[in-house]
Structure 1
Amino acid sequence: MAAPIEDTFLPEALQFRSPSPLVDIGANLTHESFGKDLEAVIARARAAQVSTLIVTGTDLAHAEQAVELARQYAGFYATAGVHPHDASGWNAELAGKMAALHALPEVVAVGECGLDFNRNFSTPKEQEHAFEAQLALAAESGLPLFLHERDAGPRMREILTSWRGDISDAVIHCFTADRDTLHGYLDLDMHIGLTGWICDERRGHHLRTLVNDIPLERLMIETDCPYLLPRNLPAKLKGRRHEPALLPWILKEIAQWHGVSKAELASATTQTAQRFFRLPTDT
């Protein structure tokens, strides 16, 4: 049985309810930090009006776990892909297993996949090989793409441009780059996912001047939990683990800089996510 909201560690000051249901398009709920209290995490999310969660699958094991969560909990869906950090492990067997996952009704996007030239845990060549292979899977399945890009904007746009006629929709998840990169993605008819990065005055300040450039019909919001805890929270959080119940604080920050009400932004981003991931509109 889920723990009551008042019995959890989340301080009352952080129990902020969205004016209407939200979709968290990127929640890493298969992370080990959620292993002991997932039911309470879900209860808090529902109390905050975060009613739909896309659980990110960053490799085969986590994608399979995400599918199991989607089968267990109403309003949960999964993505399935291989993160660029793990691109060195891409092979024909893994491609076949990913394709099988993409055929499942619980899986609503291919990814998290893309390019990360910031850390290069896999070489750029390995990353590009795995990325293009997953673009081919997306083209074959017709599913949208859940994309990761860090310090690889020019090459990412070059590859996406060559594939744009073959793939359906795509979202650049956890966008943190500059204006030119943003407009390059928008010119390719991509969607943009924003996280608590915009709440971080140390490194996300530039996003506050860019967010108004993103049309509401292209914008979605996400926690990327347990990472990227928002820095606009009015109280400290024990353990500093981010979770879906805190998505309304990200909504609040984005609405302020976009110049719209929280209610308008909540409604718009939910409708955009439902359309993008082809979700039931009553979730």
Structure 2
Amino acid sequence: MHLIDIGANLTHESFDHDRAAVLDRARAQGVVQMVITGASREHSPQALALAQAHPGELFATAGVHPHHATEYTDECDAEMRALHAHPEVVAVGECGLDYFRDFSPRPAQRRAFERQLQLGAENGKPLFLHQRDAHADFMAMMKNFDGKLAAAVVHCFTGSREELFDYLDQDWYVGITGWLCDERRGLHLRELVKHIPAHRLLIETDAPYLLPRTVRPQPSHRRNEPMYLAHIVEELARDRGEDVAVTAAATTRNAREFFRLPER
């Protein structure tokens, strides 16, 4: 299988001591390309640097997560635009709304999100989106950009049937993570993933977060890493009633189309 991890936070400090080994383990499990998530003023340039150090294999997003929305100043906007001038940066985000934790005030979240939607409308790059407990406002803001965005993926989907079908009605892509493997919170996804059209399905680890709880043996450090994408696609294929090779091929094809990645 050739797999593409569309969301890995490889700039996270937990990878500082063994990042090269993490990449080697991922390659050994069939992960041929990764998109490194940029989610703040600090980490978006780091994601670009990683992508530039691994041409053709690693790519980056550049944006500001709603947790960091208060940092989205005019200076930050200029920094994001400079990052997006690089071809290795393949999507705007991670951006969106998060009313579950409210680490930034909601008005600040909406302002930062709108500015990044405008950036995507201007530069023609797809959107890498985050939404948690903010569905109504999220959909209303996205509606303001109908017909202006190249494409969008709701990354790390964990929501309801209603939310899923709202996204699919807009022809957006949906990213599935190891949340699927969580018997406490993710059981509803086992059924919902059957309804995602094959041409709108993407897979990701969101490493170092969301280690699949069905991985055996469980690593003692509890850190997720891209090598476990193979485990996620196996579980996803089983839930969809597909051969794993079919699910793997579809998600890889979709990732290349969505992010405009070269063959590898």
TM-score, normalization by structure 1:
0.92
Could you tell me which residue of structure 1 aligns to residue 54 of structure 2? Answer: 73
2:206 to 224, 228, 234: 224
Name the SS for the 2:242 alignment partner: coil
Q: CA deviation at 1:238?
A: 2.3
- The percentage of aligned residue pairs carrying the same residue is 52
Could you tell me which residue of structure 1 aligns to residue 68 of structure 2? Answer: 86
Tell me the C-alpha RMSD between the 2 structures: 0.7
* Deviation readout 1:211-244 (Å, 9 max, x if unpaired): 0110011010000000000011121212111000
Name the SS for the 2:221 alignment partner: helix
2:197 to 187, 190, 215: 215
Could you tell me which residue of structure 2 aligns to residue 4 of structure 1? Answer: none
Q: Partner amino acid for 2:158?
A: T
1:37 aligns with 2:18: yes
Q: Partner amino acid for 1:82?
A: V
Determine if contact 2:31/2:229 at 8 Å carries over to the other structure.
yes
Determine if contact 2:41/2:71 at 8 Å carries over to the other structure.
no
Determine if contact 1:103/1:141 at 8 Å carries over to the other structure.
no
Could you tell me which residue of structure 2 aligns to residue 166 of structure 1? Answer: 148
Separation in structure 2 between the aligned mates of residue 261 and residue 156 of structure 1, nearest angstrom:
34
Name the SS for the 2:180 alignment partner: helix
1:128 aligns with 2:110: yes
Alignment of 1:166-205 (within 5 A): 166-205=148-187
Separation in structure 1 between the aligned mates of residue 174 and residue 218 of structure 2, nearest angstrom:
29
Name the SS for the 1:279 alignment partner: coil
2:243 to 261, 265, 272: 261
Q: CA deviation at 1:165?
A: 1.2
Determine if contact 1:161/1:188 at 8 Å carries over to the other structure.
no
Q: Partner amino acid for 1:37?
A: D
Q: Runs ≥4 in structure 1, deviation > 2 angstroms?
A: none
Determine if contact 1:164/1:188 at 8 Å carries over to the other structure.
no
Separation in structure 1 between the aligned mates of residue 127 and residue 212 of structure 2, nearest angstrom:
25
2:29 to 38, 48, 53: 48
Q: CA deviation at 1:188?
A: 1.0
1:98 to 77, 80, 100: 80
* Deviation readout 1:147-204 (Å, 9 max, x if unpaired): 0000011111111112121111000000000000000011111100000000001100
Separation in structure 1 between the aligned mates of residue 25 and residue 114 of structure 2, nearest angstrom:
38
Could you tell me which residue of structure 1 aligns to residue 43 of structure 2? Answer: 62
Separation in structure 2 between the aligned mates of residue 173 and residue 85 of structure 1, nearest angstrom:
15
Name the SS for the 1:60 alignment partner: coil
Separation in structure 1 between the aligned mates of residue 149 and residue 114 of structure 2, nearest angstrom:
11
Unaligned runs of 5+ in 1: 1-19
